[in-house]
């Protein structure tokens, strides 16, 4: 779980994820990590010693959490913002795992041709808001991370599928009210789809979902039981605490 610490240099704060197991610096202003990247990393599955790519890795929170849980994997992060990519590389180095993670400054929706069809799994946390529906935040980095256009999700999915080997896994966290767009984007190119809802509290409507699919398969969609995030008193449930603090995998 992200923890604010003292300022590093003049434009980032230094904190931790996974109860101190991951050192993590992020911008003072702009997009700040919440629990979505940690939950997303917990949902990634890949074969032993596999290759995994994150599209739009930002400062590297999800990459670092996944690398901590799966020390056998080779990871690549793709980030369009050069400053964020630089910070992600610094975070990788600060955690001493530079030999397992490469961060590229590129557009994840149009990934480099040299990477196509070379990964066992791909995952991403796309912008959740639509540009016409909200007032844009003043910070350019936060705008890029949180606001997209209605057609963007198809481009994100297309970029991810291009990077995957046949039968490779695609894992996405998104708003529940945009699930229809995400499923339409997966279309005929992926199957064995699982929709995993996150319920804020018992009895409340889901606001986030994780969707997992596999390239080129045709198996029917499955709706998973999902996970309740908070107890009645607002604390995280025990299962969520184990993911955020101990780095447990999310069983989907």
Global pTM reads: 0.88
The strand pair at 51-55 and 119-124 is best described as: parallel
Return d(Cα 106, Cα 55) in angstroms, integer: 9
The pLDDT tens digits of the residues spanning 33-51 come to 899 999 999 999 999 999 9
Q: Could you tell me which of 40, 34, 38, 42 has the C-alpha nearest to residue 4?
A: 34
* Band of pLDDT at residue 127, cut at 50, 70 and 90: confident
Instruction: Give residue-wise pLDDT tens across range 72-110.
Output: 999 999 999 999 999 999 999 999 999 999 999 999 888
How does pLDDT run across 148-168, given as a tens digit for each residue? Answer: 566 789 999 999 999 999 999
């Amino acid at each position: 779980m992200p923890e604010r610490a003292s300022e590093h240099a003049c434009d980032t704060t230094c904190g931790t994820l996974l109860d101190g197991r991951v050192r993590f610096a992020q911008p003072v202003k702009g997009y700040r990590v919440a629990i979505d990247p940690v939950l997303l990393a917990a949902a990634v599955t890949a074969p032993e010693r596999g290759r995994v790519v994150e599209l739009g890795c930002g400062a590297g929170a999800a990459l670092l959490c996944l690398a901590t849980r799966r020390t056998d994997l080779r990871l690549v992060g793709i980030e369009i913002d050069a400053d964020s990519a630089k910070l992600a590389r610094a975070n990788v180095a600060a955690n001493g795992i530079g030999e397992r993670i490469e961060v590229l400054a590129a557009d994840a929706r149009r990934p480099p041709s040299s990477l196509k069809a070379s990964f066992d799994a791909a995952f991403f946390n796309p912008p959740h808001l639509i540009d016409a529906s909200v007032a844009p935040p003043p910070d350019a980095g936060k705008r890029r991370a949180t606001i997209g256009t209605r057609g963007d999700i198809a481009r994100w999915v297309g970029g991810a599928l291009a990077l995957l080997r046949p039968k490779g896994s695609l894992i996405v966290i998104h708003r529940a009210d945009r699930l229809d767009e995400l499923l339409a984007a997966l279309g005929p190119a992926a199957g064995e789809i699982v929709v995993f809802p996150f319920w804020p509290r018992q009895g409340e409507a889901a606001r986030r979902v994780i969707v997992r699919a596999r390239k080129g398969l045709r198996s029917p969609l499955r709706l998973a039981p999902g996970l309740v995030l908070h107890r009645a008193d607002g604390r995280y449930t025990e299962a969520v605490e184990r993911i955020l603090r101990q780095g447990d995998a999310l069983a989907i």
